[in-house]
Amino acid sequence: MLNNLKKAVSNSFIYSIGNLSTKIVGIILIPIYTQKLTTADYGMLGVLEITSELLIALFSLSIYQSFLRLYWDKDFRDRQEEMFFTSLFVVIIIAILMFLGFYPFISRLSLLLLDNQDYGFLIKLMLLTVGLKIIVRIPSTLLRTQEKSVLYTIANISRLLVTLFATIYFIIYLNHKVEAIFEAQIIGQIFYLLFLLPFITRNIRLKFNLNILKSMLEYGFPLIFSSISGVLLTLGDRYCLRFMTNFSDVGIYNLGYKVANIIKVFFISSVQLALPPMVFQMIDQPNCKRFYSKIMTYTALALSIIILAISILGKEAIKFVVSNKAYWEAYKVVPLLSFSMLFLMLMYTATTGLTIMKRTKILAKLVVMMSVLNIALNILFIPFLNIIGASLATLISRILHFSIVYYYAQKIYRIPYELKKIITMILTGLGLFLLSLFVNDFSLIPRLAVKFILILSFPLVLYFLNFYEPIELLRLKQSWQKWSNPRKWKKK
């Protein structure tokens, strides 16, 4: 099991390099966005971003998820190249039909989403971006499925660099506004496909297989609804703010969400990219359940440290990165949104048993139910608490979502998760965060010093609470002895 965990950590780390580059690019662009775009412009961007995610969830038909699940299935191992072609061909057709289907209604979409029908060109750019992202997901999923983490990371970093330079060029030199973001993304997606063209041609067989498509749709169809509801659950707060407040509030909230979303991009997404192939490959191994259990414990521990750091330092980070004071109120939502990311990760991990048993219909029903609840909570809280209400609704929804998924997953496929340890982590992190609030009125240097001490004390406090097992302490000691001495790095 230890070797499998090491492999998972290694792949997650490699994926995280690519995801970290995503966030570094985002951090580089935030000062440009907040300087060149008003809070209302940034709010419009937020609405278009979540609309893009909703369209991707709807029109991708969850084919990439079916591809990931069935690629190593014993019934399809001799037809993997056909499966890849079939999946890629179908999503290309879907992307074309989606754009042509919406084209006559561009002005109406502009009016609905942006309160002005003159943003038709911006809507077209958004639709093109959506279509390319749907197509790109198939080769990206193949990279993950084959555990080509290095190539995956190189391709994504290259795409991000192209997107970054294109965005800077369009915004700074051509003085474009929100449309610059989508123009640059279109260029980046096309470059990505061209970069991966040799890999695509090596793994494809030009044969459309209707039986494979039927199997993929059968598995993935329930996931379409869960994907759509998942987007609404994750991003519906922006829609509620857009229709209940104004674009400026959406812009401020959107910035706070992007800061908290560092956790998802850097950590959660990296883990989700690396682990599913290993989870499915280990289904028949005798120690698989302990492996699944430790995944939840270790990911929650690493994630808690990151959440604590972002929650405690969110105010300072936003003021450092953003010079426009109109955006500074965004720091208020960072702790709640960051904390909600922990329950998002726990929910993803808890679905292991359901995906193994192919009980995706349960996931679909739960996500739909939670998305409705999330929107209801937003409607309830936003009139009184504004952007704080939206972040509180997100946190409550994710806590309930994890709890219910955990309950049903354990009934169908019991895994001995270490919930007591996870609760200990949560309470310890919450206590340290509350302590940090007492130093917010200190001058900058003493405040930062105390906050860094609180963050670094988190794993130490857990040690005194007997959180770690003896074998874990031994492995940590051995790892420290190895990596603290460069002469031992080459030794196995």
Within a domain: 91: yes
Residues 37 and 178 sit within 8 Å (Cβ to Cβ): yes
* Alpha-carbon separation of residue 53 from 5, 93, 233, 337, 342 (angstroms): 32, 19, 12, 19, 21
Within a domain: 450: no
Identity (one letter) of the amino acid at 392? L
Q: Can you give the residue range of the structural domain that contains 170?
A: 2-417
Confidence at residue 62, expressed as pLDDT on a 0 to 100 scale: 76
The number of folded domains in the chain is 1
Within a domain: 21: yes
Backbone angles phi, psi at 170, to 5 degrees: -65, -40
How far is Cα 431 from Cα 455, in angstroms, rounded to an integer?
A: 11
Q: Which of 337, 39, 11, 31 is nearest to 148 (CA)?
A: 11
pTM reported for the whole predicted model: 0.72
Within a domain: 477: no
Confidence at residue 59, expressed as pLDDT on a 0 to 100 scale: 85
How far is Cα 310 from Cα 304, in angstroms, rounded to an integer?
A: 10
* Alpha-carbon separation of residue 472 from 2, 133, 384, 477, 478 (angstroms): 11, 41, 47, 9, 10
Confidence at residue 212, expressed as pLDDT on a 0 to 100 scale: 80
Confidence at residue 492, expressed as pLDDT on a 0 to 100 scale: 47
Within a domain: 433: no
How far is Cα 202 from Cα 142, in angstroms, rounded to an integer?
A: 12
How far is Cα 443 from Cα 261, in angstroms, rounded to an integer?
A: 28
Identity (one letter) of the amino acid at 411? K
Question: How would you write the pLDDT of the chain (492 residues) with one tens digit per residue?
Answer: 545 545 555 555 555 555 555 556 666 777 787 788 888 888 888 888 888 888 888 887 777 777 777 777 677 777 788 888 888 898 899 999 999 999 999 988 888 888 888 888 999 999 999 999 999 988 988 887 777 777 888 888 888 889 889 988 998 888 888 888 899 999 999 999 999 999 999 988 888 888 888 877 877 776 676 677 767 777 778 888 888 888 888 888 888 888 888 777 777 776 766 666 666 666 666 777 777 888 888 888 888 998 999 999 888 888 887 878 888 888 889 999 999 999 988 988 888 877 777 676 777 778 778 888 888 999 999 999 999 999 999 999 999 999 998 998 888 888 888 889 899 999 999 999 999 988 888 888 888 999 999 999 998 898 888 887 777 667 666 665 555 555 555 554
The 3 state secondary structure assigned to the chain is CHHHHHHHHHHHHHHHHHHHHHHHHHHHHHHHHHHHCCHHHHHHHHHHHHHHHHHHHHHCCCHHHHHHHHCCCCCCHHHHHHHHHHHHHHHHHHHHHHHHHHHHHHHHHHHHHHCCCCCHHHHHHHHHHHHHHHHHHHHHHHHHHCCCHHHHHHHHHHHHHHHHHHHHHHHHHCCCCHHHHHHHHHHHHHHHHHHCHHHHHHCCCCCCCHHHHHHHHHHHHHHHHHHHHHHHHHHHHHHHHHHHCCHHHHHHHHHHHHHHCHHHHHHHHHHHHHHHHHHHHCCCCCCHHHHHHHHHHHHHHHHHHHHHHHHHHHHHHHHHHCCCHHHHHHHHHHHHHHHHHHHHHHHHHHCHHHHHCCCHHHHHHHHHHHHHHHHHHHHHHHHHHHHHHHHHHHHHHHHHHHHHHHHHHHHHCCCCCCHHHHHHHHHHHHHHHHHHHHHCCCCHHHHHHHHHHHHHHHHHHHHHCCCCCHHHHHHHHHHHHHHCCHHHCCCC
Dihedral (Cα; 282, 288, 291, 292), 10-degree rounding: 90
Within a domain: 485: no
Q: Which of 286, 268, 265 is nearest to 276 (CA)?
A: 268
Within a domain: 448: no
How far is Cα 78 from Cα 76, in angstroms, rounded to an integer?
A: 5
Residues 238 and 46 sit within 8 Å (Cβ to Cβ): yes
Residue found by looking up tokens 């720091």 in the block: 331
Report CA torsion sign: 214, 215, 221, 223.
Answer: negative
Q: Which of 140, 163, 164 is nearest to 152 (CA)?
A: 140
How far is Cα 163 from Cα 174, in angstroms, rounded to an integer?
A: 15
Q: Which of 63, 216, 209 is nearest to 139 (CA)?
A: 63
Within a domain: 461: no
